Structure 1
């Protein structure tokens, strides 16, 4: 009879879930936030469903959902009867899994746990969780291992950070996991932090925030809960909460400016869970660690920062909690403080104590039904949102196929090389792999293990033709050991020495490096743990930071393999995510200076050289590369920037294909890829980029907002524009003038000087940046100003024979006052030298009828601007129907025209309409002029067009000179 009741109850829940749209299900805390009526009704229905589930649960089932025990294993490395008891008798709703298994075994392991959960009265699936900070390999032996977070931050590549999280999520789901305790959002401001270190993205709050968001999105968009940790920050601690109770004494301002922003960024990005820290944050609660503090979890995290997801504690068996409160008391305290799930690690007895203490507190009323149900609602909602009821089991055979695929390994390898930070190089690197010189490799045991150094020595031997010897010292080598190592080093031609620190570097290790340096052999040091080691041996010839090993010694071989690759010629890509005080600044990182190719012909020459040196498996591969480069060179001659960039990116894809199929050596691949990247970067400097323009629009229209003439918003916008010009290397100035009502406005001016020309002609590129009151002005003036800034960027390094002035006008909306003032201040001599004015107004509208770009002159007649644009449009292959000359005398170009300067206004308008708001767009000059009304494609088209036209005018004088000479 009991089995029948269980089955009916489970079927009730299952049917209830099947009749509810899973994607709409959210906790009640989300209710009413900017919802449409239909969405709100749907949300209310989902809340009702969750409430029905909760009413079906008995007391043990409710408490069980709040507890996450660690599992216990049998001799076959599968969950044992103790684990079954925790799931079926204590009704655990979540588990955290430790230990190492292969993918197939891990999948079977998780299936067994879920099967036990399915056999309970309610049959609610488990959250199956793990610490997988550097990938599933952290607990699944045949899965992909990625660089640690500090290494990922060293790449500065947000896309790669997100890709790593996406791959990890896919491997997690294949092996049965659905919740990852990653990434760390801790800002590691304490170099001697004994527990965070290379697990953090670094010391810079903005970098940590950006990387945290990238990884949260990568995990959760691929179906795995992500958990930024350890709230509200474990980065400035001097004690390890696994052994002590840390306390930080910085003030509230430091907390808010340094440590909280990554968590707030994660919350804003939709993080579904956050883990607490066992750290006393004195500025919030000087008595209790965050895990147990209502002021921190409810007051700060929920109420002030607006977090509505799951709060899970760090492991409660850590000494910081265990020694001060005990498992049972701490479990009750953390739920009362606002946590949803207690991570009940430790012994079986301690785990049972957590369940029993919570049950007792609930039955006595110490823990209220309201408080428990609030957490249950969140927990159950997330389980439905992540599809656990529908997909609780996985295929063990499929798991093996999903993990550590070639593409996953390739991503990890590329990220590792990009993370390698060449901190110092006194002209000793790279070593020549073809040399027969001998190499001595030395380093310490790390947590009593020697394989780290042995692996590095094997990697070195694979790279060099010379003999390789190695030695593994103790963790803190004695003077006698150091002398023996130095004698061995004397017999070698060059030395590679590794050091490891999880906080402060052992004195013996630094003494060893310094002693090796005195041998006058080329000495390269590698820090395997924290990057700060070099400050203890600053005179070493070269140093590479790998960020490969954390305080427990978990190995990420892909990182030290990348270090060896760099030693033998692979170009390092990393920048320090921390400051090495007194020695190297945040962001420092050297590379092997390669000569920048002038064009694709230079790279063809290099391909031929590499072919002659035998770096290709056959003649087919270099021939394919050279065919591609010939096409690129054709577009270079035409100065077709976008096509050059696109085809060089295709060249990189071809290189990847050849490397994956072992048609090219690693050294040749790295060299050609580096050359291709440099050529792409060179051409990108001259390519208008709408993504960069959109970032300017976003700042002007969203971050600043309405910019009415004379307002604080307008002034803030002018300061931003001036600062952006200065970032580009321009000498920027501000021209202030009076406007009605006793206010002031300002124009912002940046000048690109002509090269080698006395009294050159002047070309103006102008836009206005103010907006009507109440309007963010995103595609009206925001798009014009953004295009102006981007044009200033792409023409910055191009040698010009005319002076180019970029002017952002204020107070256009007050009657064209900015442009009127600017032109009135021009001298007669300047006006005589003025050649053309390209005036940008509404260059980004996404309004469908505005399909025609009007190049509007005051009198409707052709002039220098129209002629240059017409030629550029023909060169770019622009559809004739999209560009038209038009008469319009109502914008900033009017004052230039009146002064006798050829001028035209660029504005998208409805095809065939006369000037007027109806022919522009329905949200023109209104609060609806928001960034979602902007078309990046139209911004890109205008930018390409004007960039090309300005180049014609700027080089016109030079071309005339050449024609005369010939």
Structure 2
């Protein structure tokens, strides 16, 4: 009997710790699948916990357990209130500064109706279209949805929205079946004249994307193939399946031809994921990742496709959430001012568009969404992607507004960033 009480007590403390953790991380992107019923479920669990603590706990355990349970309850309610407040304040925002900040965000969505006011007021700069937006729909329906949002921009005299997607071919083909699923670019290496085939591939894909209203495609992947199996916890990145080749010269040739094909149809591509994922085993969707390859090696090998293709095309560059230990041991490349300004803008002289990988991925989000947002803007990144958990846009935009109000944003960097975006998407 005593053993059962000990086990029951241990399980009770474990349950309380779990509820505290849940309350603290309310609305975490990893819990997006339960967003609609997350708060009621948590409040119900806490109510049960409070009732059990009152009924079963004895002595000093009762007030401690009740205090922890009520503390978790208060934490959950405060987090919910903050989320509601951020959404309300962003929706109420207007004026040049709000538009200058909003122009830096590309957001995912479930229902385009929820984007109409944000688009009309200039509080977003673009949208990300993915599988959930095409499931069970026709190409005509998606095309009309995008066209309606663009019409709102024209009516208010605002620049067109950047309309982005992730159609690499192969495993990552977010708009298929509305857009024909093509094999991965790497399969072209098995045929004669791979560069010519890559151009035709890009042109075909570009025409299909342009017909829907897509203007920016997050492809090609120019990370080099690592030549090893994915790490145990690599659930989503799986760069070995998506990379073109382990050879930087061949990767650059195929990627450039593909990019030129896209551009011939009026769609811009994106070189990803700088500084390269070949040297990391962690999945940045969930975990921090550090690239320890010497910069001298990266500059002559892994970075060659980024440099060669960006010099000869209008491709954007996507910044991954990888820490480049030799240059900035504290920040992922996606919000490292040193890496952006010293390497990409400085040494390379690249003046095109820079876009972050999704800021709701664990490797960025775990640094703090506010921190990642403000530092990305101050680093000179042009477009901040918030795609998987698009509700987090309101928190990120609120952070940017607060930073601007307290003078923590480099406004000259914002102006240059908006100028690059306007030059690229007119």
State the secondary structure of the residue aligned to 1:230: strand
**Structure-2 residue corresponding to 1:322:** 365
**Residues 519-538 of structure 1: pairs in structure 2 closer than 5 A:** none
Q: CA deviation at 1:57?
A: 6.6
**Structure-2 residue corresponding to 1:83:** 115
Contact 1:68 1:92 (C-alpha < 8 Å) held by counterparts: yes
Structure 2 length-normalised TM = 0.71
Contact 1:241 1:318 (C-alpha < 8 Å) held by counterparts: yes
2-side partners of 1:363 and 1:162: how far apart? Answer: 47
Q: Does 1:160 align with 2:197?
A: yes
C-alpha distance after superposition, 1:624-661 (max 9, x if no partner)? xxxxxxxxxxxxxxxxxxxxxxxxxxxxxxxxxxxxxx
Q: Does 1:220 align with 2:230?
A: no
2-side partners of 1:57 and 1:134: how far apart? Answer: 40
Contact 2:221 2:244 (C-alpha < 8 Å) held by counterparts: yes
1:333 to 371, 375, 378: 375
**Structure-1 residue corresponding to 2:355:** 312
**Structure-1 residue corresponding to 2:292:** 249
Q: CA deviation at 1:278?
A: 0.6
State the secondary structure of the residue aligned to 1:238: coil
**Residues 53-452 of structure 1: pairs in structure 2 closer than 5 A:** 58-73=96-111, 79-80=112-113, 82-89=114-121, 91-99=123-131, 100=134, 101-120=137-156, 122-134=157-169, 138-155=174-191, 157-193=194-230, 194=234, 195=237, 196-326=239-369, 328-384=370-426
C-alpha distance after superposition, 1:222-276 (max 9, x if no partner)? 2111111111211221011001111121112221122100001112212331100
2-side partners of 1:137 and 1:278: how far apart? Answer: 22
**Structure-1 residue corresponding to 2:47:** none
Aligned length: 321
Q: CA deviation at 1:83?
A: 2.1
Q: CA deviation at 1:382?
A: 1.1
Unaligned runs of 5+ in 2: 1-93
Q: CA deviation at 1:108?
A: 1.4
1:137–1:264 Cα change, 3 Å: closer
Contact 1:69 1:351 (C-alpha < 8 Å) held by counterparts: yes
Contact 1:190 1:237 (C-alpha < 8 Å) held by counterparts: no
Contact 1:188 1:236 (C-alpha < 8 Å) held by counterparts: no
2-side partners of 1:90 and 1:332: how far apart? Answer: 19
Contact 1:225 1:272 (C-alpha < 8 Å) held by counterparts: yes
Contact 2:226 2:240 (C-alpha < 8 Å) held by counterparts: no
C-alpha distance after superposition, 1:795-822 (max 9, x if no partner)? xxxxxxxxxxxxxxxxxxxxxxxxxxxx
Q: CA deviation at 1:286?
A: 1.8
Q: CA deviation at 1:383?
A: 1.5
Q: CA deviation at 1:172?
A: 0.9
1-side partners of 2:380 and 2:412: how far apart? Answer: 12
**Residues 334-733 of structure 1: pairs in structure 2 closer than 5 A:** 334-384=376-426
2-side partners of 1:269 and 1:348: how far apart? Answer: 33
Contact 2:130 2:174 (C-alpha < 8 Å) held by counterparts: no
2-side partners of 1:298 and 1:110: how far apart? Answer: 34
1-side partners of 2:293 and 2:399: how far apart? Answer: 34
1-side partners of 2:313 and 2:405: how far apart? Answer: 35
**Structure-2 residue corresponding to 1:664:** none
Q: CA deviation at 1:138?
A: 3.3
C-alpha distance after superposition, 1:675-709 (max 9, x if no partner)? xxxxxxxxxxxxxxxxxxxxxxxxxxxxxxxxxxx
2-side partners of 1:57 and 1:372: how far apart? Answer: 15
Contact 1:103 1:141 (C-alpha < 8 Å) held by counterparts: no
1-side partners of 2:195 and 2:279: how far apart? Answer: 24
State the secondary structure of the residue aligned to 1:366: coil
Q: CA deviation at 1:216?
A: 1.6
2-side partners of 1:152 and 1:301: how far apart? Answer: 29
1:182–1:97 Cα change, 3 Å: same
2-side partners of 1:185 and 1:129: how far apart? Answer: 18
1-side partners of 2:371 and 2:180: how far apart? Answer: 39
Contact 1:217 1:269 (C-alpha < 8 Å) held by counterparts: no
2-side partners of 1:142 and 1:371: how far apart? Answer: 38
Higher relative contact order (CA 8 A, sep 6+): 2
The structure having more radius of gyration, on CA atoms, is 1
Q: CA deviation at 1:119?
A: 4.0
2-side partners of 1:277 and 1:61: how far apart? Answer: 26
State the secondary structure of the residue aligned to 2:301: helix
Contact 2:279 2:292 (C-alpha < 8 Å) held by counterparts: no
Contact 1:106 1:140 (C-alpha < 8 Å) held by counterparts: no
**Structure-2 residue corresponding to 1:488:** none
State the secondary structure of the residue aligned to 1:301: helix
| Runs ≥4 residues deviating over 6 A | none
State the secondary structure of the residue aligned to 1:229: strand
Contact 1:241 1:279 (C-alpha < 8 Å) held by counterparts: yes
1-side partners of 2:362 and 2:384: how far apart? Answer: 15
Contact 2:273 2:320 (C-alpha < 8 Å) held by counterparts: yes
**Residues 801-816 of structure 1: pairs in structure 2 closer than 5 A:** none
Q: CA deviation at 1:89?
A: 4.5
RMSD over aligned Cα atoms: 2.0
Q: CA deviation at 1:58?
A: 1.1
Contact 2:167 2:174 (C-alpha < 8 Å) held by counterparts: yes
Contact 2:309 2:315 (C-alpha < 8 Å) held by counterparts: no
State the secondary structure of the residue aligned to 1:91: coil
State the secondary structure of the residue aligned to 2:253: helix
Unaligned runs of 5+ in 1: 1-55, 74-78, 385-966
State the secondary structure of the residue aligned to 2:169: coil
1-side partners of 2:270 and 2:367: how far apart? Answer: 26
Contact 1:185 1:208 (C-alpha < 8 Å) held by counterparts: yes
Structure 1 length-normalised TM = 0.32
Q: Greater helix share, 1 or 2?
A: 2
